[in-house]
Amino acid sequence: MFIYLSKKIAIPNSIPLKCVSWNKDQGFIACGGDDGLLRVLKLESQTDDARLKGLAAPSNLSMNQTLEGHSGAVQVVTWNEQYEKLTTSDQNGLIIVWMLYKGSWCEEMINNRNKSVVRSMSWNADGQKICIVYEDGAVIVGSVDGNRIWGKELKGNQLAHVAWSPDSRILLFGMANGEEDAELEAVCPAKYVLILCNSIGTPLDSKYIDIDPMFVTLTKTHVIAASKDVFYLWQYRVAKKLTALEINQVTKTKKEGRERFYHIDSNPSGASDSCTHPSKSFTPTRDPICSITATDKTLIVARESGSVLTYSLPNVSLIQKFSLNNRAFHLSLNCNSSRLAVIDISGVMTLLDLEARSVTDDGSQVGAGDPSRFERKDVWDMKWANDNPDLFAMMEKTRMYVFRNLDPEEPIQTSGYICSFEDLEIKSVLLDEIMKDPERPNKDNLINFEIRSLRDSRALIEKVGIEDASQFIEDNPHPRLWRLLAEAALQKLDLKTAEEAFVHCKDYPGILFVKRLGNLQSEPMKQAEVAAYFGRFEEAERMYLDMDRRDLAINLRIKLGDWFKVLQLLKSGSGAGDDALLQQAYIGIGDYFSDRQKWVDALQYYLQGRHHEKLAECYYMLEDYGGLEKLTSDLPENNKLLPAIGQMFTNVGMCEQAVSAYLKCNQPKAAVDTCVHLNQWNRAVELARTHNMKEIKSLLSKYASHLLENNKTLEAVELYRKAHHFLDAAKLMFKIAEEGKKKSQPLKVKKLYVLAAQLVENFHEKVKTSQQSKVKGGKSEATYAIAGLLEEDATSSDNRIIDNAWRGAEAYHFFLLAQRQLYSGQTENAVRTALHLREYEDIIPAVEIYSLLALCSAASRAFGTCSKAFIKLESLESLSLEQRQLYEDLALEIFMKHPPRDNRVVREDSAEGSEGKVPTCIVTGVPIREHQFWMCSVCKHCALEREISRYSYCPLCHSPAV
């Protein structure tokens, strides 16, 4: 924020002041002094007109009231802004609360402790509480209505200040002796970042540095940052300027050439005398840096002692030193680095000539570094023109001055900060207004000012004429003035003057435009072209149509990209080639809507423009896959769009549609890859067979191996099943079932065995189907060949799996059945079923089989069978000695009470070597001796008809019981 002396307020009789406080909300100023002096002042509120002009706050007083009530020196003054109250205290400890009543301040409450002097008072954030501290250590907290809330004596402490925390829960006290309990110093690596942005704030590049960038300046090629004792140069590169050679350079070499650090006490000569780690190599200086500025070829660094150092860029060598009378606050170089503007800490602006001038006006020689006779006070901002070394603007209090060759123009009332000075226009920003509400900036806070020469030239052109204005511009040449003259001459079709003016401002496109106008014969045509040149497109279109040149109006709208207007003009008439333009207009309007994500509207225009690529994109974005499929069928074969449509279908998992698109463009390999990607292995194998592709089997094996390596065995089973490799799937399923035995979950193990056996049945069906297709004719020779290979690959272990597919499922089915019968009280049936389990010792551990048999037979009081089971258990080599001893002890305990003979007749028909001759009922576990019985169509197991009638599904394989 800029600071300058705005107004002096004199105190009567020169009474010394002791305290002052500003009410930020209402603008009151309270000041207290000796002899009970207490005054309340108020500055005038700012008007809307002044705010629009960007003026600083006015300095006129609207209130100057003396408050009487204190007899001693007023020492503490504080405001309660929420309740509009003023609290004061004097050297006698008297506290007075003042309130605003009918435009003047009057007493509301008085309090005096009569023991000590008040040293500080503070209201909390919401104005509800006040804390008062006395010099003797007493602390009192009161409410806004005068009631005491809390008090405490801090003995032994001489209090001087008090402050509330933002949440009004903590009080902070300051002591008169200034003691601190401890000094905490954070030790951490300081890291700062410089971010290079473009004109719209988009970051382009960034650098992390170890110095504190207190001063930063930017040129076309360098970013210069400086701390108190080190300055840093970063030669940046934007992406569009990098050459292929620079991109391929080694990173280390590239960095060394682009980043350099220099200590302010060193005297660089331009050689490689910089450092890469300033924090480790440089020591603090006694004469710190206070300001920097730079152009493309010069760097200026000012130090607090008043010395100024000049370095050349880009090689950074010290070329000049000179001294100032005061410490510099702001430095600025003109566009050709010939003159330096300095604003010191007291607001005095001076100019220094960096290049030696031959002779001054009074005949004396001026050397480099000598100050000119220019000096201005109360300056807080300035800016050189970017295109004129003798033109600059400066801010002095609330006035802006523009100087040309040190001659000022009339001032402009404003308080804006100067952003840029170019093309005889000054752009300034009302930062004070923006900072009042930084989240919602207003464009009105950006103000453009034209300097006098631009205003005078425009006035001459409008009021006098082009000839006189041309003479004035020749006397005061500037590219902006020549451009202004050229535009005025074009408006009046003075082509000769316009061409000369464009030549002076080096506007080659303007010269070509004037040449083109000279070749036109029709005056209305020239006027229409000039209107289009100045952006008056509606007027130019109207002129073209009045001349019956609809084609020129259409071309104008095409150049502008206004396809809606093009379509309107095309529909208003007819002519050769309109169909092609109409299609182009439809596509252009479709692009307009698609750029704004309005896919439904874009689709309608793309349909009319018959743009297949854009149609496919619209269908895809709208998830209209039916339309995308129809577009696929409408496209001719081998169309270049078909692979892209196939990829779209693949992305959303629509395998068949993607395969159709790929096959239509003769890309079967892509179709197979899509099937593999979407896990449609059956379809992939079918395509591979149809198109004689041999790599599908190896790909299938690789993918299955990958799944197995990642312990995804079930996914591998599903993979083989979808690819109709049922035998391989069955092998993996049997392996899973074998591993499931270890977890003692017999029901789950049975399910796994059933699934494995069903995969073997699927294998049988596949072989049967392939053989039947061979019998029908020679059309399925390839299918039969693959089936033959699968049969050939079946080794002896595979034959065992095929022949005994249901054996594991049978074992665990009867194992579970025996336990259900036991718990339901069917002990005799449980014994029969458990006896049947002796055939499956290769699947279920023998200890589990004979333990169940012993339990069932004991429950059925068939102690003879129970004795045989215990004999088998005691002879098992898989059991340890301790386990055998336990079985022996249990057997002894049982047979001491019960003789080892069966009380009931236990028929063992199923266990007497009649393997496979007498089937077993899978419902009850008893042998079937009847001639009529039910057989499952899937697992080929049998059951008594009277028993299976109660079931809808096969108890073993769970297929429908038909």
Per the domain annotation, does 498 fall within a domain? Answer: no
Same-domain status, 142 and 100? yes
In this predicted structure, the answer to whether residue 796 has a pLDDT above a threshold of 80 is: no
Asked if pLDDT for residue 51 goes beyond 60, the answer is no
Considering the domain architecture, whether residues 206 and 355 belong to the same structural domain is answered as yes
pLDDT tens across 865-892, in order? 888 888 888 888 888 888 888 888 888 8
The CATH number linked to 171 is 2.130.10.10
Q: Does 948 share its domain with 876?
A: no
What percentage of the chain exceeds 90 in pLDDT?
A: 29
3-state secondary structure of 937: coil
Q: Which helix (H) or strand (E) holds 173?
A: strand 171-175
Q: How many domains in the chain?
A: 4
| 460 in a structural domain | no
| Angle (nearest 5°) at CA 588 between 586 and 593 | 95
Mean pLDDT, all residues of the chain: 83
- Using one digit for the tens of pLDDT, what is the confidence trace for 578-632? 788 888 999 999 999 999 999 999 999 999 998 999 999 999 999 999 999 999 9
Spatial neighbors of 519 by CB under 8 A, at least 6 apart, are none
pLDDT interval class at 187 (50, 70, 90): low
- Write down which residue in 321, 342, 377 finishes a domain: 377
> What's residue 577's pLDDT?
54
- Report the C-alpha dihedral over residues 152, 154, 158, 164, rounded to 10 degrees: -60
Give the pLDDT of residue 98: 92
In a domain, 582, yes or no: no
Q: Confirm if 830 and 818 have CB atoms less than 8 A apart.
A: yes
Both structure tokens of 848: 């589990």
What single DSSP character describes residue 953? B
Instruction: Say if residue 111's pLDDT is above 80.
Output: yes
At residue 29, does pLDDT exceed 60?
Answer: yes
Q: What is the mean pLDDT of residues 17-37?
A: 89
pLDDT at residue 648 tops 60: yes
Question: How many Å apart are CA 503 and CA 413, to the nearest integer?
Answer: 36
**Chain centre distance of CA 95:** 56
Angstrom CA distances, 513 to 118, 240, 352, 483, 522, stand at: 81, 30, 44, 14, 15
Residue 574: φ, ψ to 5°: -140, 155
| Beta strands at 104-112 and 94-101: parallel, antiparallel or unpaired | antiparallel
Confidence at 917, pLDDT banded by 50, 70, 90: low
- Provide the pLDDT for residue 763: 85
Which amino acid, one-letter code, is at 575? G
Instruction: Pull the structure tokens for residue 184.
Output: 């905490």
Is it the case that residue 398 has pLDDT exceeding 80? yes
Distance, CA of 224 to chain centre:
29
pLDDT for residue 530 is more than 50: yes
848 and 810 housed in the same domain:
yes
pLDDT, one tens digit per residue, over 63-101 is: 888 898 898 899 999 999 998 999 999 998 899 999 988
Rg from Cα positions in the chain: 50
Give the residue, 791 or 14, on which the prediction is more confident: 14
- Comparing 777 with 452, which gets the higher pLDDT? 452
Closest CA relative to residue 427, chosen from 459, 391, 383, 387: 383
Compare 601 and 710 and report the one with higher pLDDT: 601
Residues 253, 139 within the same domain: no
pLDDT confidence tier of residue 184, bands split at 50, 70 and 90: low
Q: What are phi and psi of 301, to 5 degrees?
A: -125, 125
Is there a contact between 303 and 264 (Cβ–Cβ < 8 Å)? yes
pLDDT score at 718: 82
More confident residue, 681 or 745: 745
The predicted-structure confidence for 752-775, as pLDDT tens digits, reads as follows: 888 888 888 888 888 777 766 655
Please report how the helices 681-690 and 781-793 are oriented relative to each other, as an axis angle in degrees rounded to 10: 120
| 725 burial level (CB within 10 Å; 0-12, 13-18, 19+) | buried
Give domain status of residue 3, yes or no: no
Confidence of residue 287 (pLDDT cuts 50, 70, 90): very high
Which pLDDT score is estimated for 294? 95
Average pLDDT over residues 245-265: 63
Evaluate whether residue 364 is within a structural domain. yes
Given a contact cutoff of 8 angstroms between Cβ atoms, the answer to whether 344 and 357 are in contact is: no
pLDDT given at position 275: 64
In this prediction, residue 767 carries a pLDDT of 79
Query: Which carries the bigger pLDDT value, residue 769 or residue 318?
Result: 318
In a domain, 201, yes or no: yes
Nearest Cα to Cα of residue 131 among 154, 114, 108: 154
Residues 46 and 137 in one domain: yes
User: By residue range, what is the domain housing residue 316?
Assistant: 192-377
Shared domain for 164 and 199, answered yes or no, is no
Residue 510 makes CB contacts below 8 A (sequence gap 6+) with: 486, 498, 502
How would residue 44 be classed by pLDDT, with cut points 50, 70 and 90? confident
Give a yes or no: residue 402 inside a domain: no
**Residue 641's pLDDT is what?**
92
Q: Which two tokens stand for residue 850?
A: 């004979």
Shared domain for 124 and 198, answered yes or no, is: no
Model confidence at 52: pLDDT above 60: no
- 255 and 351, same domain (yes or no): yes
- Phi, psi dihedrals of residue 834, rounded to the nearest 5°: -65, -35
* Tokens linked to 440: 């919602």
Domain boundary among 129, 145, 175: 175
Judged against a pLDDT cut of 60, whether residue 22 lies above it is answered with yes
Is pTM beyond 0.85? Reply is no
pLDDT of the residue at 752: 87
User: Quick one: average pLDDT of 514-530?
Assistant: 88
**103 in the same domain as 220:** no
Q: Is 307 exposed, middle or buried, given 0-12, 13-18 or 19+ CB atoms closer than 10 A?
A: middle
Given a cut of 80, whether residue 845 has pLDDT beyond it is yes
* Residues present in the chain in total: 962
Q: d(Cα 897, Cα 900) in Å, to the nearest integer?
A: 10
User: For residue 933, how many C-alpha atoms fall within 13 Å in the half-sphere facing its CB?
Assistant: 20
Q: Which of 177-181, 375-379, 669-673 has the lowest mean pLDDT?
A: 177-181
Any domain includes 489:
no
Q: At what angle do helices 681-690 and 668-677 cross, to 10 degrees?
A: 160
Q: Is the pLDDT of residue 905 over 50?
A: no
d(CA 252, CA 879): 72
Answer with the one of 377, 400, 434 that is the final residue of a domain: 377
Residues 850, 947, single domain; the answer is: no
CA angle 340, 344, 349 (to 5 degrees): 55
Q: Which residues lie closer than 8 Å to 454 by C-beta, 6 or more apart?
A: 424, 425, 480, 481, 484
- How does 339-378 read in b/e, with b if 16+ C-beta sit within 10 Å? bbbbbbeebbbbbbbbeeeeeeeeeeeeeebebeeeebeb
Q: pLDDT-derived band of residue 46, with 50, 70 and 90 as boundaries?
A: low
Where residue 226 sits, what CATH number does that domain have? Answer: 2.40.128.630
pLDDT at 789: 45
Helix or strand run (H / E) with residue 300: strand 298-303
Q: Are residues 204 and 263 in the same domain?
A: yes
Look up the CATH number of the domain holding residue 956.
3.30.40
